[in-house]
Amino acid sequence: MVPRAGPSKRSLSTQITYLAIAAATALLAVVVMLASWAVMRIDERALERENRFVQVGLEEVFERLPKEQDSSAIWDEAVLSSRANDGAWLDENLVEWMGAYYDHDQVFLLDPRNEPVRAAKDGSNVDPTIYEEVRDLVQPLVARLRAAMQAASAGMEDSTEAITGLGEIDAVAFDGGAAIISIRPVVPSSAAVTQEPGTEFLHVSLLRLNEPVIRQISQKFSLQALGFSLTPTETPGYASQPLFNTSGRIVGFFNWLPDRPALELVSQTAPVVVLGILAGLIALALLLLRLRRTSSKLEVSEAHAQFLAFHDPLTGVPNRALFEDRLERALATMRRTGGKIALHYIDLDRFKHVNDTLGHPAGDELIRQAATRLSEMLREADTIARLGGDEFAIIQVDPADHLGVEAQCERLLRAIDEQFDLGGDVARVGASIGVVIADDPSVTPRDMMRQADIALYEAKAAGRGRYRLFAGEMDETVRGRRALERELRAALREGTGLQLVYQPIYGAMSGALLGAEALVRWEHKELGLLAPDQFISIAEERGLIEPLGLWVLRTACRFAVTSNIPWIAVNVSPMQFSDENLAARVLDVVAQSGLPPRRLEIEITEGLLLQNSPVVQETLRKLRAAGVRIALDDFGTGYSSISYLRTYGVDKLKIDRSFVEQLGQGKDIDSIVKSIIDLARSMRMQVTAEGVETVAQQQLLVGMGCNQLQGFLLSRPLPEADLATQLSLDAHGQLRIGAGNQN
């Protein structure tokens, strides 16, 4: 199929690019999302663990403090010394000792009335009155403990067992920070000492949550930059955990720099990962770039190949394939919307001459320029194509009328008529144009092409530099011709109705029957016997001339091979020569019939030679090489020149009937005929005069030296059987000139 303007294919590579970018972006987004989710989750877990560590660290302090107190407060000596108010012992073992040995910040011994009897601060004995600074903080704990002790030991004589292990502990805000206060009863360590409920001394320790305590926690649990403050820290990146007292109030906050293992891992590996992603993106970009380049290269070369497939490489105009497609479409449009189409076949005259004398590059240049000139004469909707060699075709869409078409022909002829400048050389060629105008919906592209070809042939035959409109189809008798065409087709298919008659040709001097020309007849069911003039042109226009021509050739050869006729002449239409394989076909038929090729003569017309076609030249050369003789029919009516006779090589001239008819009526015609005969003889060609009807004509021709005679005077065209009879008579020497008169 021929390409039409469609959506650009360029979008393919763009689409792939977009797709790849989208996929890469999506992938990257998913990876980043997953990674950050994982980082968050891992770091959250790490934080949870650290929160627990702070808790545990604090709990350890809460556990340690009472134990440290009990190490001295559960002791018989301590009970006795308290009762005795042995200041020195108490300081050394119970009060100062706790500060010095365990780093309790403040230590008090309270008597059964809850008044301080001994006090120590930072490991040194101090006046018990400093208790006033903390009394409000300690008092609630003291009250609770006393209540608990009372409850546990109610109605007992000795409270020792009931209250051992009791205590109160709580976190409190203290001195701009926090502290833990722990209170334990002083109890005997053995049964040797007893204690009446309500007579117990209390041991109070206050431990500030200061730097050393916190450092212990942070070192034990590897918590970074652990600190304590009354309000949560606002330092970015820090975590906080509130410290509650037993009644659920916030005392302050632990702050630390949380460990973020995942984030750390990510930030450590980030450069590598980023580099990797970057490398991946660069690779992707390169890949896409390459894809785009290759695909755009492919697109370009595809478009180029498409163009080459449908355009003539020399001129860049559409070639035959595209031309046929356009014609088909123009006809389809015409069928839909009405209107007309004109098809011009244009053939340059004397192009071969330019090629031969100035060389092929000049010839190519001329073709290029001609294509340009013709293109410039066209409207947008029209199509020009190069069909080959020096042949162009133009599809003229919707011409106003036949005058519009003719005006176009004039313009085209004038354009080609201008001198061509071929880079150094100048040349003038002309053109011949055959045109057909179609407005009949049933017409096919093949019809139009054939009809334009016929018109072109007629234009050339009429002399060059002119155009001819194909007239056949415009005729009133179109319908009759259509019917004839159908019937001729059927006749050819079924082999009925067609027949040959044979008109003998005689030796001018001897009167001997030399050969015969086969002439076709058609026995039509309704119209009777039809002469070739009534159906040959239809066959030519409708593409039937090839099968008809081959039928005539086959029939004539079969007859010749079964008779003793020296040779048989067969008319071949110029249209048949557009088949490049004509020579092979003819020789094939001859060979199949068994007739030696030298017993066959082919009659061609001058118009054929005027086409000046290398194909025709080659066909004739092949036929002659095989032994077939070539006769130039109707000689003198056309424009043939001696140079053509030389170029083509012809064996015989047949002087046209119109000359013979006028012989003896004026010096002019007589001398023309005489010079034709002389020309033929000088070129060693035979010469036949056709249409000899009178004895006077016969005598003149014989006198002029004509070789062969053909005409009603000698014999009318004869049916096969009659000619056979003639031949056997002639073989017996009884047939002589004049015998044809009886027919």
Residue 445 touches which member of ligand C2E, Ca ion, none, C-beta under 5-8 Å by kind:
none
Q: Are 241 and 254 in contact (CB under 8 A)?
A: yes
Shorter beta-carbon distance to ligand C2E: residue 69 or 503: 503
Per-residue x/- track, 475-504, ligand C2E (CB under 6 A) = ----------------------------x-
Q: Report CA Rg, the chain.
A: 64
Q: Is 688 in the site for ligand C2E (CB under 6 A)?
A: no
- By C-alpha distance, which of 583, 650, 589 is closest to 622? 583
Tokens representing 552? Answer: 């005539």
In angstroms, what is the minimal distance from the CB of 324 to Ca ion? 34
Shorter beta-carbon distance to ligand C2E: residue 383 or 503: 503
Instruction: Output the CA–CA distances (angstroms, integers) from residue 149 to 64, 71, 72, in the order listed.
Output: 21, 19, 19
Q: Is 601 in the site for Ca ion (CB under 5 A)?
A: no
Shorter beta-carbon distance to ligand C2E: residue 109 or 631: 631
Per-residue x/- track, 611-650, ligand C2E (CB under 6 A) = ----------------------xx----------------
- By C-alpha distance, which of 567, 629, 622 is closest to 599? 567
In angstroms, what is the minimal distance from the CB of 689 to Ca ion? 10
In angstroms, what is the minimal distance from the CB of 534 to ligand C2E? 9
Q: Is 698 in the site for ligand C2E (CB under 6 A)?
A: no
Per-residue x/- track, 647-676, ligand C2E (CB under 6 A) = ----------x-------------------
Q: Are 393 and 384 in contact (CB under 8 A)?
A: yes
Shorter beta-carbon distance to Ca ion: residue 57 or 636: 636
In angstroms, what is the minimal distance from the CB of 506 to ligand C2E? 12
Tokens representing 299? Answer: 């697109």
Give the span between the Cα atoms of 557 and 18, in whole angstroms: 74
Q: Is 571 in the site for ligand C2E (CB under 6 A)?
A: yes
Q: Are 134 and 141 in contact (CB under 8 A)?
A: no
CA angle 570, 572, 574 (to 5 degrees): 165
In angstroms, what is the minimal distance from the CB of 521 to ligand C2E? 7
Per-residue x/- track, 567-586, Ca ion (CB under 5 A) = ----x---------------
In angstroms, what is the minimal distance from the CB of 553 to ligand C2E? 8
Residue 383 pairs with which residues in a beta bridge?
395
Q: Are 502 and 518 in contact (CB under 8 A)?
A: yes
Shorter beta-carbon distance to ligand C2E: residue 94 or 536: 536
- Amino acid letter at 306? Q
Residue 319 touches which member of ligand C2E, Ca ion, none, C-beta under 5-8 Å by kind:
none
Site for Ca ion in 621-680 (CB under 5 A): 633-634
Shorter beta-carbon distance to ligand C2E: residue 114 or 534: 534
Q: Is the dihedral of CA 443, 446, 452, 453 positive or negative?
A: negative
Q: At what angle do helices 320-337 and 261-310 cross, to 10 degrees?
A: 90
Among 177, 465, 472, 532, binds ligand C2E (CB under 6 A): 532
- By C-alpha distance, which of 454, 447, 435 is closest to 575? 454
Site for ligand C2E in 711-730 (CB under 6 A): 711-712, 717
**3-class DSSP string for 479-518:** HHHHHHHHHHHHHHHHCCCEEEEEEEEEECCCCCEEEEEE
Q: Of the listed pieces 171-179, 222-230, 487-495, 684-692, which binds Ca ion according to CB under 5 A? A: 684-692
The shares of helix, strand and coil residues in the chain, as percent rounded to the nearest 5, are: 55, 20, 25
Q: Cite the DSSP H helix spans in 91-210.
A: 96-102, 131-153, 160-163
Shorter beta-carbon distance to ligand C2E: residue 82 or 715: 715
Q: Is 508 in the site for ligand C2E (CB under 6 A)?
A: no
Tokens representing 741? Answer: 């008169």
Size of the site for ligand C2E (CB under 6 A): 24
Shorter beta-carbon distance to Ca ion: residue 54 or 602: 602
Give me the phi and psi of 578, to 5 degrees please: -75, -15
Q: Is 697 in the site for ligand C2E (CB under 6 A)?
A: no
Report the Cα 294 to chain-centroid distance in Å.
12
Site for ligand C2E in 588-617 (CB under 6 A): 603
Site for ligand C2E in 126-165 (CB under 6 A): none
Tokens representing 177? Answer: 């920070």
Shorter beta-carbon distance to ligand C2E: residue 258 or 717: 717
Shorter beta-carbon distance to ligand C2E: residue 168 or 633: 633
Q: Is 536 in the site for ligand C2E (CB under 6 A)?
A: yes
In angstroms, what is the minimal distance from the CB of 661 to ligand C2E? 8
- By C-alpha distance, which of 356, 386, 543 is closest to 449? 543
Residue 365 touches which member of ligand C2E, Ca ion, none, C-beta under 5-8 Å by kind:
none
Residue 573 touches which member of Ca ion, ligand C2E, none, C-beta under 5-8 Å by kind:
ligand C2E
Instruction: Output the CA–CA distances (angstroms, integers) from residue 592 to 355, 496, 530, 628, in the order listed.
Output: 40, 22, 29, 15
Give the span between the Cα atoms of 505 and 690, in whole angstroms: 9
Among 91, 458, 603, 720, binds Ca ion (CB under 5 A): 603
Element (H, E) at 716: none
In angstroms, what is the minimal distance from the CB of 581 to ligand C2E? 18
Q: Is the dihedral of CA 40, 41, 46, 49 positive or negative?
A: positive
Per-residue x/- track, 528-567, Ca ion (CB under 5 A) = ----------------------------------------
Q: Of the listed pieces 15-23, 267-275, 530-538, 610-618, which binds ligand C2E according to CB under 6 A? A: 530-538
- CB-based burial, 487-516: b 16+ in 10 Å, e otherwise: bbbebbeeeebbebbbbbbbebeebebbbb
Size of the site for Ca ion (CB under 5 A): 5
Residues within the interface to Ca ion (CB under 5 A): 571, 603, 633-634, 690
Contact residues for ligand C2E (CB under 6 A)? 503, 518-520, 531-533, 536, 549, 552, 571-573, 603, 633-634, 657, 690-693, 711-712, 717
